[in-house]
Amino acid sequence: MVSSKIRKRQLEEKLGLTNDGLITSNFNPDITGIVWDILHEKFNLFTHPRLKDEQESDYVFFLIVRNIHASIWAIRDDYLNNISTLVSREYVSACSLEEFLNEELQSVIRRYHVIYEEMANRYMVQADQIQTSQVDYDICLYIGTLTLPEKSLDVIMAMIADKSYMLLQSDCLEYCKTFVYTYFDLIEEQMDENQTAILEKLTVTTNIVSQISERSGRQKPSSGFSIRSLFHSTFLHGFLGVLFGNFAWWLITRYINFK
């Protein structure tokens, strides 16, 4: 019973529940209770009494990378143009989202991502909203569509957050990839080799050294943390300062002696 309470509390913390009982991540306050019921097989996503009577909407999903940060965007299809062209695309394929946004409608994008909450000194999953006028990204992958209530969408995004986050750079992308795998489970289809390869190769960084560090961090979190800590440590900065300072002095003395 005690361990069960601890696990539930850990789940609540991942969704930003404070000691005052407030949800700081914009998830619906009763989401953790619904998730807990589903995880313990009391109900499923389609039979839970707090979900089955909710109004459904058609959502289109995208995996977005911007400024070395990954998130999942969900947009209602009635806010998009040429929807038939969009949904005929291959799952997990590169997409120019601007081509499909309806400029006449200031639609709202529901965004899910892992963030670091400085006040509480913890990582958590956040659900927030941005306007289509704020659309900006480095990478956009079209994932697919689902028809479901917004609260059910929140439940899915909360359920896949049931893990310990340590590295924002790595974990934000892993969270998004977990959604993609979950999406294929929900539509009961298998990912093909090309789709799997796209996800496996995807990183939030473009620099090759950063990509190696990022992949290392995802495979072994302590490794990624060590590398990131090393490059941000005061000791290393001081050491490099001395090293390059001595090297510069050596070049100057060599130049003077040579003249």
When pLDDT is cut at 50, 70 and 90, the band that residue 90 belongs to is very high
Q: Residue 134 sits in which domain range? A: 2-219
pLDDT of 182 over the 80 cut: yes
Tell me: do 235 and 209 sit in the same domain: no
Tell me: do 185 and 228 sit in the same domain: no
Tell me: do 131 and 246 sit in the same domain: no
Q: Are 75 and 60 in contact (CB under 8 A)?
A: yes
Greater confidence (204 vs 26) lies with: 204
Q: Are 63 and 180 in contact (CB under 8 A)?
A: yes
Tell me: do 82 and 18 sit in the same domain: yes
Q: Which residues of 114-146 are buried (b: 16+ CB within 10 A; e: fewer)?
A: bbeeeeeeebbbbbeeeebeebebebbbbbbbb
Whether the pTM exceeds 0.85: the reply is: no
Greater confidence (219 vs 115) lies with: 115
Tell me: do 229 and 157 sit in the same domain: no
Tell me: do 66 and 80 sit in the same domain: yes
How many domains, the chain? 2
Tell me: do 160 and 189 sit in the same domain: yes
Q: What is the pLDDT of residues 207-228, one digit of tens each?
A: 443 444 444 434 333 333 322 2
Tell me: do 187 and 248 sit in the same domain: no
Tell me: do 206 and 239 sit in the same domain: no
